[in-house]
């Protein structure tokens, strides 16, 4: 059976939509909860999805077949259409390697960064040292490295910013890329699993440059100039992304990327004129994932490039475009609409 969205779904702010399918087809709906304003899920050490929304932060229980609220102390907002246009009331969950959870949100007009420690029952404020000029600062990412340091990116007064909180510190400090330089329109953080972080600076969807913060360092260093962007990084330090007009893999210490295999004939990346896959996800085994489509009116298909393989393979159902999707560490495909979260694969 072919699974298709009933309406177009925005990659960042999803409109109404639905999927057709059943568990017999390998594509299952995870409960009936409407996650208004929610993001895509993050995953704990047991590969369980955790999602945030105006209804709080919740984790899917496969045993109880329902989404269970995590922690107390966060104000929940009842579902209503007007909240979709108020991102400061939307929870933005993240998880660090130790399993601590972070959520950006709070009562409308007073957003804050919160933490739920492993084994804890109560969310606590965790924004000491961040500018108290809310709501001029918005947090898009919270990322932890293997040493227990935390990093976040966002925007402040229309300028992208990144902050760090070193292990044992009591507050946050701002990361400086180039003193006095306007950084770009956005900053995306990409960890490699070995404690190194890469920062994409970009103008909208266009890549600007890439910076590396090596494990144990406190100063980012530019490693790639204009028109370069990293999609993901693996545990060996290989970077996968868009390099000077070409998709490829950049190995540690090298300056020239090697090309990635192209998706099957007729399938191309969906978001620009890039003629081939643009890697957007990686799982714990090192498999790469990209989205592609056959033509302007066709559905999106997710492709997988297994380690050591020379060819992409199609996985999961065909889905509407634009598509909101992610891959769990164990390689399970997740998509969502405002009406639910859907999973494909065992």
- DSSP letters along 82-142, please? GGGG-GGGS-EEEE-TT--EEEEE-STT--EEEEE-TT--B-EE--TTS-S-TTSEEEEEE
Helices first, then strands: H and E counts in the chain: 0, 29
187 φ/ψ angles, rounded to the nearest 5 degrees = -135, 130
> How high is the pLDDT of residue 245?
72
- Per-residue pLDDT of 21-32, as tens digits, reads 344 456 788 876
- Per-residue pLDDT of 181-227, as tens digits, reads 555 566 778 888 788 888 887 766 566 788 888 887 878 888 888 77
Q: Is the pLDDT of residue 129 over 90?
A: no
Instruction: Give me the mean pLDDT over the 251-270 stretch.
Output: 83
> How high is the pLDDT of residue 6?
29
> How high is the pLDDT of residue 110?
58
> How high is the pLDDT of residue 82?
41
Residue 66 sits at the vertex; the CA angle it makes with 64 and 69, to the nearest 5 degrees, is: 110
Residue identified by tokens 């868009």 is 242
Count Cβ atoms below 10 Å from residue 207 Cβ, excluding itself: 23
Q: Is the pLDDT of residue 235 over 70?
A: yes
> How high is the pLDDT of residue 9?
27
Of 77, 73, 47, 76, residue with least CA distance to 61: 47
Q: Is the pLDDT of residue 151 over 60?
A: yes
Q: Is the pLDDT of residue 134 over 80?
A: no
> How high is the pLDDT of residue 286?
92
Radius of gyration of the chain (CA): 20
Q: How far is CA 233 from CA 120, 138, 151, 155, 182, in A?
A: 31, 25, 16, 24, 26
> How high is the pLDDT of residue 305?
94
Contact 74, 57 (CB under 8 A): yes
82 φ/ψ angles, rounded to the nearest 5 degrees = -70, -20
């Amino acid at each position: 059976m072919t699974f298709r969205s009933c309406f177009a779904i925005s990659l960042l702010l999803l409109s109404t939509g639905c999927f057709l399918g059943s568990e017999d087809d390998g594509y299952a709906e995870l409960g009936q909860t409407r996650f208004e304003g929610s993001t895509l899920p993050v995953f704990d050490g047991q590969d369980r999805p955790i999602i945030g929304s105006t209804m709080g932060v919740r984790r899917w229980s496969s045993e109880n077949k329902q989404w269970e609220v995590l922690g107390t102390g966060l104000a929940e907002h009842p579902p209503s259409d007007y909240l979709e246009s108020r991102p400061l009331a939307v929870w933005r969950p993240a998880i660090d390697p130790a399993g601590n959870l972070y959520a950006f949100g709070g009562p409308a007009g007073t957003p804050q960064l919160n933490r739920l420690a492993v084994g804890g029952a109560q969310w606590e404020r965790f924004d000491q040292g961040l500018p108290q000029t809310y709501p001029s600062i918005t947090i898009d990412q919270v990322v932890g490295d293997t040493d227990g340091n935390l990093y976040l990116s966002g925007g402040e007064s229309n300028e992208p910013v990144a902050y760090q909180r070193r292990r044992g510190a009591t507050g946050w400090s701002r990361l400086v890329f180039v003193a006095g330089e306007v950084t770009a329109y956005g900053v995306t953080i990409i960890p490699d699993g070995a404690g190194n972080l890469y920062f994409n600076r970009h103008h909208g969807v266009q890549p600007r440059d890439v910076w590396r913060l090596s494990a144990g360092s406190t100063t980012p260093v530019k490693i790639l100039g204009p028109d370069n962007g990293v999609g993901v990084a693996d545990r060996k330090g290989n970077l996968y992304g868009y390099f000077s007009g070409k998709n490829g893999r950049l190995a540690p210490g090298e300056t020239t990327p090697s090309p990635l295999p192209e998706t099957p004939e007729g399938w191309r990346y969906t978001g620009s004129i890039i003629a081939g896959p643009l890697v957007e996800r990686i799982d714990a085994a090192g498999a790469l994932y990209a989205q592609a489509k056959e033509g302007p009116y066709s559905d999106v298909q997710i492709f997988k490039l297994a380690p050591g393989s020379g060819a992409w393979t199609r996985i999961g159902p065909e889905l509407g475009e634009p598509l909101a999707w992610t891959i769990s560490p164990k390689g399970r495909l997740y998509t969502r609409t405002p009406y639910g979260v859907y999973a494909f694969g065992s």
